[in-house]
Chain A
Amino acid sequence: MIFKCRNCGGNTVYSPEKGRMYCPHCESTDSEEKIGDSSLTQCVNCGAPLQITDFTSACRCEHCGNYLIFDERVENAFEPKLILPFRIGKEGAVAAMEKEFSRRLFAPADFLSAKSLEKMEGIYVPFWLYDYGAFYDFAGEGTRIRTWRSGDTEYTETSYFEVIRQMDVNFDRIPVDASIAMDDRIMDLMEPYDYRALADFEPQYMSGFFGEVYNQPAQQLEGRAQEKARQASEEMLQSSLTEYATVRPYRKNLKLNSEGFCYALMPVWQYAYRYKDQSYLYHVNGQTGKVIGVTPVSRGKVLAYSASVFAAVTALCYMAVHVLEIL
């Protein structure tokens, strides 16, 4: 499918800044009209051949520049239940990166320039969101230690306690990305998303962006969600035991009960830069603006800044020594 403007016939897209459909040609809003069924091999607008992957659900035609959404990959079994619409546009993503990289002192000043930009895509990444009810049953022996001195003797008092914790945890929508192309580690770092902005899926949200259908079924990826739930449960348990110096467990059972899952699309900006013959890939959370990516290091900057610190600190030390010697 393709969304066209009723007023000018241009391709309408979802505007993150405006939070509604927008025609960049005539600047109309909410003037979209859904056109036709799209094939996976041909652009529904210009008929040009398309080269897409097995999982592409939305793309941009390289010939006419219109954004296409493939019906058969957003319907029936592939229809997402929820979508988190982009809230940050292209400029916002670049601003977020500039802000983040300005804190990285040794990053070269010019590496975010337009000439080094290779790729810039807004992508809806497929995620499975898992719900779990967890019950953690823990019993152990904890110690509290108190030390004091009397004369030339040091006393150490160790108190032993029986510690029992039974806790229920309701995990709500633990996200796991279902895209092989996306690095799991990076997708985990992109979290968290603000779920309050989740909306029922509407294909309009995808117009203007790239998208993927889930690459793996929910059952296949459930292990990652369970691992996240286990780690979080363990951390919560440990934070309830902080008053003890040591805890020796003698019973530890965590039961996770699956309470369902749903398929959702999450917004991610992907930027690729080429700087001094090396590629750098950055991801920006399309909702929160969180930036993930490694920046190059400018040796000149390292040298100049470190030398400045060295000179300044040495000079300050000399001054301090001088002043203290005089006073």
Chain B
Amino acid sequence: MREYFRYFKWLYIVLAVGALLTVVLHAGHWTMAKTMNYQRTNTECATDERVFDKADVLSDKEEEKLRKLIAKREKQTGCDIVLVTLNEPLEEYARAIEPGVISEEYVRVYAEQSWEKMGFGFDVPDGDGVMLVDNWSREDDGRIHTWLCTTGRARDAYYVEDIDHLLDNVYRYVEDDPYRAYKTYVNDFYHDMMGWNVSHLSVPGFVPWLIGIIASVIFAAVNWRSKEGKKTTTATTYVEGRKPVFRTSHDRFLRKTVTRRKIQTSSSGGSGGGSHGGGGGHHGGGGHSR
């Protein structure tokens, strides 16, 4: 047992330091989150509802849980957080408002119109907030489109890569578990607005287990030494003067050839495709398709 603790002493010290660091960070995180308590000043908003599950992909219980989570996150971020799921083609609707709009941005038109019509915004109508519109109906291009619409402080905080990251995370779960996807949307928005997770790290849950298994297998393999012993002689062990004597060591240049090869550069494409921008001037946002 003594040998065991002596061997793993440093591992346990690192583990303890890591645990301490994690606890301290969590405590700081928790304390900061507790102290954040924005008061909503927008009195003109047409509704208190934040979850519009028109596509009916969430159960009542899930909707209720999302409402509670959104209420908490709104106070912490000072932004309205709205979720809309649809299951209807938007081409006609969007083209009536913006005739030249492309299919990827039908949802943008819908999001911006809804946002303005309902008067969302935490501080004032059309003020700080974010809306995710996920339209489960396939447009004529055969794809499902999603849009994240940002306004006010949310628009200032969100760059293109932040939107892509958030929508990537939503798309990771949306087909199998819409509730988890939309919960991720709310929590990622909260983290982003708090200025956390700047690395945008999102590691699947099995990865630490996999690393642990690989590490322990390598550890066992390296230490499972049945080798009798190492060879400790070298080529010069029995050589007088420990080195050979070169009578001739001659290197003469003969010729040279040069070959060339074109480097193929591959053009990269996003997994779900994406578009960015905003039509309303004061709206920001971006979309993904699946």
**Chain A residues within CB distance 8 Å of chain B:** 104-106, 109, 136, 141-142, 149, 152-175, 185-186, 188-189, 191-192, 228, 231-233, 235-236, 239-240, 290-295, 297, 302, 304-327
Contacts and interface: CB of A to CB of B under 8 A. Distances in A.
B8 A163 contact: no
Contact of B25 (A232, A290, A314, A326): A326
Contact of A236 (B213, B229, B244, B258): B244
A171 B239 contact: yes
Interface in B232-262: 232-241, 243-262
A160 B258 CA distance: 12
A158 B255 CA distance: 8
Interface string B263-286: 101000000000000000000000
B220 interface: yes
B212 A158 contact: no
B19 A319 contact: yes
A5 B123 CA distance: 107
A173 B257 contact: no
B96 interface: no
B256 A158 contact: yes
Contact of A156 (B209, B231, B245, B258): B258
Given A162-B252, A313-B215, A315-B15, A291 B229 contact: yes
A325 B197 contact: yes
B18 A292 contact: no
A168 B254 contact: no
B275 to A, nearest CB: 28
Given A156-B261, A191-B232, A317 B247 contact: no
Main secondary structure of the interface of B (DSSP, over half): mixed
Nearest to A155: B260
B211 interface: yes
Contacts of B262: 152-154
A326 B208 contact: no
A307 B8 CA distance: 12
Contacts of A192: 232-233, 237-238
A153 B260 contact: yes
A172 B240 contact: yes
A308 B202 CA distance: 26
A149 B263 contact: yes
3 closest A-B pairs by beta carbon, nearest first, are: A314-B212, A317-B208, A235-B235
Which of A141, A155, A322 lies at the interface centre, i.e. has the most chain B CB atoms within 10 A of its CB? A322
A325 B251 CA distance: 58
A290 B208 CA distance: 41
Nearest to B256: A159
A327 to B, nearest CB: 7
B257 A153 contact: no
Given A160-B254, A327-B197, A189 B231 contact: yes
Contacts of B252: 161-162
A275 to B, nearest CB: 14
Contacts of A188: 231
B29 interface: yes
A172 B15 contact: no
Contacts of B46: none
A294 to B, nearest CB: 5
Interface in B74-125: none
Which of B25, B203, B235 lies at the interface centre, i.e. has the most chain A CB atoms within 10 A of its CB? B235
Interface string B22-62: 10011001000000000000000000000000000000000
